[in-house]
Structure 1
């Protein structure tokens, strides 16, 4: 039996005296899966993503990712964990406007101690693979939304993470750019990358995911296997 890449066991997260953001959630995700986390605003989607990324800690329960008990990590260890094991893609790209595209992509590798020469080769490879190598010397502000999201994905893949986490990756894009990013995520999954998406977009989920997990009021309401549309 395959060891889960992600395992949440009886996870609850409370922020105040109101209802918990996550309430006794248990969830396993295997290596190579593409899972879309769906649900209305306030259902716990972003909280779940933050717990897996080590950006937040549960109030109760355990979070294990790639053999690491993420819920037990301190701040410095959490940052090291993200650099080594997690690629993060955000709705609004989070690129640094004063760095070139190539330097944005290389940043995670340099923070992890990779030599500049090795980082440059890896960045060139990724930018070429994602079709934005011609923009390597440009600044992000000169790129379209779809191009900036491709650069953000390249940056997320820089350290060869076990897991790619994408938070509303098409939410800030026009229809054509959104289609572009959907194809990219589908291709990455086909190549073996484990992907977890948080999205409101049912089309994105149906196109890119092999499984959907619907959250409602902080609990798992449905967990459904899909046939991916190619």
Structure 2
């Protein structure tokens, strides 16, 4: 596969500052739901531009809540969420939608493709919703599908593709608007082992091309293969972060 971000017209928009500057910053973030324990409890996390970070933890650990807060799909009960210089926790509904279209690319476990549209039209639609002219959106979509090795399926409907191919379409859609951050929620969770390996290779290449990636997963192999940093969560808190400096002993 050729470089995804290097495809003309489909490379990711650079984040604020130079490579390595913080692009995701959560400070003292908690999320409480009525009648339940805290889904997040005082989480502080910084992700730098170009990092590929995997958030690991059992069900109920808070990792999906963290992803939803970064995506602007939920709001914290306390604390601040800043992405690419935007205070996401302060955005209203309309502003959150604009933020997701312009700053965030999202890849889901079950693809969330529209089966009544062709592969190409699924990707083009993401651009059109963000205000990209139709001709430019079609050009970007064609470049992305070619780069991801699925251009031969452009006129097919998603239901005729394998799981791995559908996830590649979902990644093309997520990259359509040149996101600063790519978020992935269990991207191999619905795939067989062969398709899962294919998607792991794709995420490795995206990171090598400089894309900032935040993945939440149960899959330790995915984290080891695709991430340069792992964050472990339990009971709404970060219990380990591979970026943390080791303790100094006398």
Per the shorter chain, which TM-score range?
A: over 0.9
2:55 is the alignment partner of 1:27: no
Q: Displacement of 1:18 after TM fit?
A: 2.6
User: Who is 1:219 aligned against?
Assistant: 237
**Could you list the per-position Cα deviations for residues 79-107 of structure 1 after superposition, in whole angstroms to 9, with x for gaps in the alignment?**
00000000000000000000000000111
Equivalent residue for 1:13, pick from 27, 31, 36: 31
User: Who is 1:137 aligned against?
Assistant: 155
Structure 1 moving runs of 4+ over 3 Å: none
**Structure 2: unaligned runs, 5 residues or longer:** 1-17, 245-250
Task: Give the secondary structure class of the aligned counterpart of 1:203.
Answer: helix
Q: Displacement of 1:225 after TM fit?
A: 4.2
Task: Give the secondary structure class of the aligned counterpart of 2:67.
Answer: helix
Q: Which sits farther off after the overlay, 12-21 or 46-55?
A: 12-21
Give 1:1-230 correspondences, 5 Å limit: 2-225=20-243
Q: Displacement of 1:16 after TM fit?
A: 1.3
Distance 2:219 2:65 in 1: 18
Task: Give the secondary structure class of the aligned counterpart of 2:46.
Answer: strand
**Could you list the per-position Cα deviations for residues 14-44 of structure 1 after superposition, in whole angstroms to 9, with x for gaps in the alignment?**
0113310000000000000000000000000
Q: Structure 2 length normalisation: TM-score?
A: 0.89
Q: Structure 1 length normalisation: TM-score?
A: 0.97
Aligned CA-pair RMSD: 1.2
Distance 1:74 1:4 in 2: 23
Query: Does the 8 Å contact 1:210/1:225 carry over to 2?
Result: no
Distance 1:106 1:24 in 2: 39
